[in-house]
């Protein structure tokens, strides 16, 4: 089911009212039924796949926990991980892998053809696979005692606000909330409503309005574009994906909050980051935290953490070493690939790893600079790096990504504009609007309650006005394709 639809609004109102009116011992069943219905409203047949996948992890996690012999525990873990990864590989990476094998064959004069029919990518498979992996690994690490009730475990996996595109939660963050009896709290309920409204606004009024410009721009031939065009495209897609995904996350967090369930935040003004590492503390926080705990820190040989907050907050205090660098590049390479079966995503991961690595190397030398210079310089550079990183992320193939990035380096390509003036104007206004929003929010936080409540009231009325007009499913959420 798509969030940006009137049917979701009706679904949410119905489930929320039923939830709070129902006897507390039956709420869990309502959550499970509503979540399965939510998924079935995409394609009902895939409900069986997600249930099967959940059952396998449920079963293996109990085996892992109950088993005392380390080799057996490891074996169960490997079986669980393999099941998840094989499903992910089959549904998400089959075409990509076979395509690459085919290309490799052609290098040796072989003309291989593979006909594997049409594979439909199950919605949210990347997200619920990571969720399941974290569960079994946490059980293996003895950080979490496995649930011995399959319906609770299934509810954890399929809970609709996070199932399709996160936030990626840890078992201890959600399962206790699903099993306890929540009490209605008007303030929390109101903040949930507000989150949903702001999230819908970001999606329908900003992301979906920028989308047609981005689509048109990326259909143009790179050779026809100027460097200023490419910069604008990078900012345009950077803003689109930010509003799209943070809007999605806000609706997810708000929807859960209506039922008295708290999710961690997934975004924290990423385009105000002052370093590449800071960016990953603010962008898709639950994913970067997942990568940190299940890939980066284990590969680095550094003690892991167990929470979906903080992102790349952890600083590895050891001096830089080949192992640390390899861990960084491997983790970010895989993180890139997780986004999609295309070398462009892997390149995007490497792009970020490279700048995090360079930042790590240069940090001691930059310490002597005045704080203001360091912050302003850090912000500008991080903004440029993160925005340009969206070029390979959005490009259809590596050749196109390199051609576009190549335009940036061409000093003679800075004097023309290719698109309609509105494109540049809109992107500039939206970007400045986003920065102003941050400072306005800070200012309001320090204002009197009358000013704050007045501004909040006006903003909500405006957001409600816009959502009423623009709520329609013209675009899916970008992260649905991952």
Partner 1 sequence: MQSLVRTALALIVAIGALYLYDTRHRRIDAAAFSIQNSVTLGREIWKGKVYTASEVGDIMKMVDANTDPFPTLNGCAPLVVLWLGNSQLHFINQAKSGDHLAPYWLRHAVKCPDQTLPLGVSLPNANLQEHLVLEHYITRRLPVRMILLELCFDNMREDGLRVEFKESLKSDERDSLRANRDTKSILETAEAEWQKGGGNDPANSGSGLTGFAQQSLEDRLDTELSSLSPLWNERGTLRNYVLSDLYYLRNYLLGINPSTVRKMIPPRYERNMQALTAILRDAAQEQIEVIGYVAPIRQDRPLPYDGVEYARWKSQLAALFVQNHAQLLNLEKLVPSNLWGTYHEDDVDFMHFQGPGHQIVARALLPYVENAEGASQ
Cite the active site residues.
339
Q: Based on CB atoms, which residue is closest to partner 1, 66 or 216? A: 216
4 lies in the binding site for partner 1 (CB under 8 A): yes
Closer of 322 and 469 to partner 1 (Cβ): 469
Binding mask 348-387 for partner 1 (x = CB under 8 A): ----------------------------------------
List 55, 59, 96, 189, residue binding partner 1 (CB under 8 A): 189
Q: Which of 94, 151, 354, 418 binds partner 1 (CB under 8 A)?
A: 418
Q: Which of 325, 431, 314 is nearest to 383 (CA)?
A: 431
Which residue's CB is nearer to partner 1, number 108 or number 468? 468
In this chain, which of 30, 193, 384, 455 binds partner 1, going by CB under 8 A?
193
Give the contact letters, 30-59, x = binds to partner 1 (CB under 8 A), - = no: ----------xxxxx---------------
Distance CA 225, CA 223 (A): 6
Q: CB 292: neighbour CB atoms within 10 A?
A: 24
The window from 3-11, 97-105, 329-337, 357-365 that contacts partner 1 (CB under 8 A) reads 3-11
Considering only the stretches 173-181, 259-267, 338-346, 458-466, report the one whose residues sit in contact with partner 1 under the rule CB under 8 A: 458-466
String of contacts with partner 1 for each residue 420-449, x by CB under 8 A: xxx--x------------------------
Task: Output the 3-class SS for the chain.
Answer: CCCCCHHHHHHHHHHHHHHHHCCHHHHHHHHHHHHHHHHHCCCCCHHHHHHHHHHHHHHHHHHHHHCCCHHHHHHHHHHHHHHHHHHHHHHHHHHHHHHHHHHHHHHCCCCCCCCCCCCCCCCCHHHHHHHHHHHHHHHHCCCCCCCCCHHHHHHHHHCHHHHCCCCCCCHHHHHHHHHCCCCCCHHHHHHHHHHHHHHHHHHHHHHHHHHHHHHHHHHCCHHHCCHHHHHHHHHHHHHHHHHHHHHHHHHHHHHHHHCCCCCCCCCCCHHHCCCHHHHHHHCCHHHHHHHHHHHHHHHHCCCCCCCCCCHHHCCCCCCCCHHHHHHHHHHHHHHHHHHCCCHHHHHHHHHHHHHHHHHHHHHHHHCCCCHHHHHHHHHHHHHHHHHHHHHHHHCCCHHHHHHHHHHHHCHHHCCCCCCCHHHHHHHHHHHHHHHHHHHHHHHHHCCCHHHHHHHHHHHHHHHHHHHHHHCCCCCCCHHHHC
Given 58, 65, 159, 419, the residue binding partner 1 (CB under 8 A):
419
Site string for partner 1, 195-234 (x = CB under 8 A): --x-----------x-xx--xx--xxx--xx---------
Which of residues 338 and 477 has its CB atom nearest to partner 1 in the complex? 477
Residue 410 sits in the site that holds partner 1 (CB under 8 A):
no
Q: Rule CB under 8 A: choose which of 51, 191, 325, 354 binds partner 1.
A: 191
Which of 106, 149, 362, 416: binder of partner 1 (CB under 8 A)?
416
Q: Which of 362, 366, 462, 481 binds partner 1 (CB under 8 A)?
A: 462
Q: By C-beta, is 61 or 255 nearer to partner 1? A: 255
Restricted to residues 280-319, the positions that interact with partner 1 (CB under 8 A) are: none
**Subset of residues 224 to 283 that bind partner 1, contact rule: CB under 8 A:** 224-225
Nearer to partner 1, 104 or 461 (CB): 461
Say which residue the tokens 């929470």 belong to: 307
Query: How large is the angle between the packed helices 227-258 and 6-21, nearest 10 degrees?
Result: 30
Whole-angstrom distance, CA of residue 271 vs CA of residue 124: 26
Q: Given candidates 262, 318, 410, 456, which one binds partner 1 under the rule CB under 8 A?
A: 456
Stretch that binds partner 1, among 65-73, 175-183, 285-293, 468-476 (CB under 8 A): 468-476
User: Which member of 190, 363, 380, 481 binds partner 1 (CB under 8 A)?
Assistant: 190
In this structure, are residues 404 and 233 in contact, taking their beta carbons and an 8 Å threshold?
yes
Of 94 and 418, the one with the shorter C-beta distance to partner 1 is 418
Cβ-based nearer residue to partner 1, 207 or 302? 207
**Segment interacting with partner 1 (CB under 8 A) among 2-10, 162-170, 295-303, 386-394:** 2-10
**Binding of residue 22 to partner 1 (CB under 8 A):** no
List residues near partner 1 by CB under 8 A.
1-2, 4-7, 10, 40-44, 186-187, 189-191, 193-194, 197, 209, 211-212, 215-216, 219-221, 224-225, 416-422, 425, 453, 456-458, 460-465, 468-470, 472-476
């Amino acid at each position: 089911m798509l969030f940006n639809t009137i049917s979701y609004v009706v679904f949410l109102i119905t489930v929320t009212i039923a939830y709070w009116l129902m006897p507390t011992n039956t709420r869990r069943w309502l959550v499970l039924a509503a979540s399965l219905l939510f998924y079935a409203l995409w394609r009902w047949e895939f409900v069986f796949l997600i249930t099967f996948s959940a059952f396998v992890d449920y079963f293996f996690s109990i085996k892992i926990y109950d088993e005392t012999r380390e080799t057996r525990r490891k074996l169960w873990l490997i079986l669980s991980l393999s099941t998840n990864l094989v499903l992910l590989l089959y549904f998400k990476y089959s075409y990509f892998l076979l395509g690459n094998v085919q290309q490799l064959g052609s290098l040796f004069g072989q003309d291989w053809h593979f006909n594997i029919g049409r594979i439909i990518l199950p919605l949210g498979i990347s997200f619920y696979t990571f969720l399941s992996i974290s569960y079994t690994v946490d059980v293996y690490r003895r950080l979490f005692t496995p649930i011995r009730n399959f319906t609770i475990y299934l509810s954890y996996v399929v809970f609709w606000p996070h199932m399709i595109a996160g936030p990626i939660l840890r078992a201890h963050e959600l399962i206790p909330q699903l099993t306890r009896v929540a009490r209605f709290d008007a303030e929390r309920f109101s903040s949930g409503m507000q989150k949903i409204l702001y999230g819908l606004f970001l999606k329908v009024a900003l992301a979906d309005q920028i989308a047609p410009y981005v689509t048109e721009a990326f259909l143009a031939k790179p050779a026809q574009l100027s460097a200023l065009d490419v910069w604008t495209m990078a900012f345009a897609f950077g803003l689109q994906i930010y509003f799209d995904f943070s809007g999605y996350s806000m609706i997810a967090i708000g929807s859960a909050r209506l039922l008295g369930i708290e999710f961690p935040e997934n975004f924290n003004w990423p385009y105000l980051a002052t370093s590449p590492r800071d960016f990953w503390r603010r962008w898709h926080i639950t994913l970067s935290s997942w990568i940190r705990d299940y890939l980066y820190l284990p590969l680095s040989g550094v003690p892991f953490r167990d929470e979906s907050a903080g992102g790349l907050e952890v600083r590895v205090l050891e001096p830089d070493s080949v192992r640390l660098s390899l861990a960084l590049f491997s983790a970010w390479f895989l993180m890139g690939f997780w986004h999609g079966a295309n070398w462009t995503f892997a390149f995007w991961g490497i792009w970020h790893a490279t700048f995090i690595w360079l930042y790590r190397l240069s940090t001691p030398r930059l310490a002597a600079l005045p704080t203001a210079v360091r912050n302003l310089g850090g912000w500008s550079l991080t903004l440029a790096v993160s925005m340009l990183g969206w070029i390979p992320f959005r490009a259809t193939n590596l050749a196109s990504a390199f051609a576009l990035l190549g335009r940036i380096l061409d000093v003679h390509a800075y004097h023309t504009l290719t698109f309609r003036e509105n494109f540049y104007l809109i992107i500039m206004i939206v970007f400045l609007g986003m920065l102003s929003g941050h400072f306005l929010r800070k200012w309001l936080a320090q204002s009197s309650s009358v000013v704050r409540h007045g501004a909040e009231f006006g903003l909500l009325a405006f957001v409600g006005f816009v959502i009423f007009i623009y709520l329609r499913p013209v675009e899916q959420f970008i992260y649905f394709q991952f």
